[in-house]
Amino acid sequence: MILNICDAPETLGVLRIIQIVITIIKVVVPILLIVSAMIELVRAVTNSELNKISKPIVNKIIAAVLIFLIPTFVKIIANIAGNNGEYENCLGNITVETIKSAYNNRAEELVSKAEETNSITDYNNAMAYLINIKDTNAKNKYLERLKAVKDKIEEEKKPKVAEPIKPESGENIVKQEETETLKVYITKNNSYYLTRVWMQDPYNQINKQDANPYGKILIKPSELVKTAIKENNLSGKLIVAMNASGFYLKDTYDASSVSRYPAFNKTSVGTIVITNGKVVRNAYKKGDVITWFITGINPQNQMVVFEDTKISKTNSEEKEKWSQEVINSGIRNTFTFAAPVILNGEKTNYTNSNSRMPGTNSSKKGLQMMCQVNDNNFVFYTSSSGTRNEAIKIFLNLGCKTAVNLDGGGSVALLFKPSSSSNIETILGNSRSLPEAMYITE
């Protein structure tokens, strides 16, 4: 709303000064002129010189009349300009209370606008203007209203927490538990298990446990999780766990890399491995080793996938730059296997030649697949004889925006530990020893 001149407190202050000046000019100056003319007239009569000063006296009287009529002239000009008497009304009604009321009206307008928009700019504008409000009670009321606005602004800054995705009616729930920060629902279908996981903070709640010493031995996922429970005092916590990255093993998988670099045996695939924020391996100088695809959760709780576009290159500087990009992303854990099956909510079209996924999407095999629906909800597809096409269809129906393969075949494992028990239950798999396992806890 645009204020007219009678509503703007700054204008009223100026008009108040003009009002005083006009009053002085209108009253005092004409009186002085008339008094001066009368003095000269008396002097002229006394000295018999009336004929000499008649003209100056008349001029002073005319000037006094004209000055007295200045407000009338201003009014006429303002009316001709279309002011409709606003100027005269302002001049005729300005008081200290009028100016105070105008400041309050302006403050009310600014505070109301801030309440309407919940904009930090409008909030700051209203706060800055309150310096003009001298009435303590009125000022405190405005401050109280603006505090509510600031609270709303701060609330809107907080990341929105999505509701958990629960099983639909009729699904066969085999395991279920909810805590304040973690909610797990495992359902069993004909050929697969579907694990819906809600986390308050996925970045810090999704963890890995490596076999120790790394690269020397392989351990079953359940035993790896037991170690994590002991080392991190998780005995009273809800845990769901599964196998994670694919791994090198002599004479299988990427046997050529293991033959050239024996240290890669019994370790996660790829040249870079990060576990719970620690860089376990960064072998960028071995440029001829295939990196595969690196997946992780970044600090913004988003699942990100890094594809090594330098797979066929042997330039160590390019490899180093790429590996540093992965590290700089802030992901705490790498989950390395094949190409993503869903990106940006759509099925990908990687071929067998560039996906590094064994078999085809219709091949029946052991599968462990992971997808992110939103900031807080993740879904895992676990099967000993499922197909990627089946998992992809389920993921897309659930609204997954990113989905990847974890290790599969005999490596598949799905584990569950309720908060009330120290026993780790095997839901599926857990038959093969691995170099690492993923676990999610409170």
pLDDT tens profile 406-415: 999 999 999 9
Per-residue model confidence (pLDDT) at position 5: 44
pLDDT, averaged across the chain? 84
Do residues 373 and 303 make contact, with C-beta atoms less than 8 angstroms apart? Answer: no
User: Whole-angstrom distance between the N-terminal and C-terminal Cα of the chain?
Assistant: 52
Within 8 A by CB and 6+ apart from 78, the residues are 85, 86, 87, 88
pTM, full prediction: 0.68
Strands (E) located in 163-307: 172-178, 182-188, 193-199, 206-210, 239-243, 272-275, 278-282, 293-297, 303-307
Per-residue model confidence (pLDDT) at position 421: 92
- Backbone torsion region of residue 179, taken as left when φ is above 0, otherwise alpha when ψ lies between -120 and 50, otherwise beta: beta
Task: Give the C-alpha separation, 324 to 232, whole Å.
Answer: 29
Task: Give the C-alpha separation, 389 to 395, whole Å.
Answer: 10
Per-residue model confidence (pLDDT) at position 2: 35
Integer angstrom CA distances of residue 61 from 41, 45, 70, 310: 11, 17, 15, 100
* C-alpha torsion angle, residues 81, 82, 86, 92 (rounded to 10): 50
pLDDT tens profile 216-259: 999 999 999 999 999 999 999 999 999 999 998 887 767 777 77
For residue 331, give the nearest of 263, 393, 275 by alpha carbon: 275
Residue-by-residue pLDDT tens, the chain, 442 positions: 334 445 455 554 555 566 566 666 666 666 776 777 677 666 666 665 555 555 666 666 676 666 666 666 655 555 555 445 554 555 555 566 776 788 888 899 999 999 999 999 999 999 999 988 888 999 999 999 999 999 999 888 877 889 999 999 999 999 999 999 999 999 999 889 999 999 999 999 999 999 999 999 999 999 999 999 999 999 999 999 999 999 988 877 677 777 778 888 999 988 889 999 999 998 877 766 766 789 999 999 999 999 876 554 556 777 788 889 999 999 999 998 888 999 999 999 887 666 777 778 888 889 999 999 999 999 999 999 999 999 999 999 999 999 999 999 999 999 999 999 989 999 999 999 999 999 999 9
